């Protein structure tokens, strides 16, 4: 009962666009979770006798140019994309929020030191930083994750710091501090409610950016490497067959578009 009330309360606060975005993302998560129970084929098993088969009863989403099941590969690719988006966003949000509050609440030297680090990273375009890291160890999921998190935490830091500076000097927080409450309580009671909306909005945009970045890296061959089932790799591999099997190329393209659209719609302002 309590869970239902919380869920209804959360959904009621969302605008129509956010509900649509949430439905899109939930549908993709359900697909990624159910796919292993639907398909018994490995995403890496080749069958050259069934190359570029159209969707049918034997292969629900058809096969690719190596005769591999598109259903199995799409399921793996969606799970991989969601995993990268989630862990990148969580890492960047935790680091950026923590350092943002620390810079606003700490001494001047801490703030100056963090400003220097941020300015150095801002001097380099985010895509360049990601390419530098991934070029060191091409095909490494870990390097892609580290690079994206390194680029994204700056956004959280700047937004959280700006909001926290205002809240820290507010009469409400000052009153709680004079009553003897510790900093953890002050953060939970006063700062987090003010920054949470902005952090969640940045997280939604950040997840879409992480997914799109991983897919884009495959086009310059420094992302994950074949035969990994990843949306960008699938697009690159299937593009030469767009006339023979347009359905195969359309699947990863549509999923990338839906994931990015879903997160962008979910990032809308709450009513």
* pLDDT value of residue 221: 84
Query: Percent of the chain at pLDDT above 70?
Result: 94
Cβ proximity of 133 and 70 under 8 Å: no
Compute the CA torsion angle 15, 16, 20, 22 (nearest 10 deg).
20
| pLDDT surpassing 50 at residue 207 | yes
* pLDDT value of residue 162: 93
* pLDDT value of residue 269: 56
| pLDDT surpassing 90 at residue 87 | yes
| pLDDT surpassing 50 at residue 146 | yes
Cβ proximity of 163 and 194 under 8 Å: yes
| pLDDT surpassing 60 at residue 26 | yes
Q: Is CATH 1.10.3720.10 the right assignment for the domain spanning 73-266?
A: yes
Mean pLDDT of the residues in the chain: 90
| pLDDT surpassing 60 at residue 20 | yes
| pLDDT surpassing 70 at residue 250 | yes
Compute the CA torsion angle 38, 42, 48, 54 (nearest 10 deg).
30
DSSP character at residue 61 = T
* pLDDT value of residue 78: 97
Cβ proximity of 25 and 78 under 8 Å: no
Distance (Å, whole) CA 187 – CA 190: 6
Q: How many CB atoms lie within 10 A of CB 214?
A: 27
* pLDDT value of residue 14: 82
Nearest Cα neighbor of 53 from 36, 35, 69, 31 is: 69
Query: 161-196, pLDDT tens digit by residue?
Result: 999 999 998 999 999 988 888 889 999 999 999 999
Termini Cα distance of the chain: 25
Q: Where are the domains of the chain?
A: 73-266
Residue found under tokens 């190329």: 249
Residue found under tokens 């949000």: 93
């Amino acid at each position: 009962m309590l869970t239902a009330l919380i869920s209804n309360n959360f959904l009621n606060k969302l605008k129509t666009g956010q509900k649509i975005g949430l439905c899109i993302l939930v549908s993709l998560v359900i697909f990624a979770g159910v796919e292993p129970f639907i398909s018994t084929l490995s995403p890496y098993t080749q069958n050259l006798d069934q190359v570029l088969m159209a969707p049918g009863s034997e292969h629900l989403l058809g096969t690719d140019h190596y005769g591999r099941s598109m259903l199995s590969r799409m399921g793996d690719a969606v799970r991989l994309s969601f995993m990268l988006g989630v862990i990148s966003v969580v890492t960047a949000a935790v680091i950026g929020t923590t350092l943002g509050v620390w810079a606003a609440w700490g001494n001047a030297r801490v703030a100056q030191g963090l400003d220097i680090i941020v300015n150095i990273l801002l001097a380099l375009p985010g895509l360049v930083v990601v390419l530098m890291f991934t070029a060191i160890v091409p095909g490494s999921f870990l390097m892609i994750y580290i690079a994206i998190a390194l680029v994204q935490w700056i956004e959280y830091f700047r937004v959280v710091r700006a909001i926290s500076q205002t809240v820290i000097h507010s009469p409400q927080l000052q009153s709680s501090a004079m009553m003897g409450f510790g900093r953890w309580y002050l953060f939970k009671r006063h700062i987090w409610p003010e920054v949470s909306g902005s952090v969640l909005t940045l997280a939604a945009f950040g997840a879409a950016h992480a997914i799109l970045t991983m897919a884009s890296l495959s086009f310059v061959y420094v992302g994950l490497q074949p035969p990994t089932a990843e949306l960008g790799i699938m697009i690159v591999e299937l593009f030469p067959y767009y006339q023979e099997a347009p359905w195969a190329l359309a699947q990863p393209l549509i999923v990338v578009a839906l994931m990015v659209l879903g997160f962008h719609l979910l990032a809308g302002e709450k009513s």
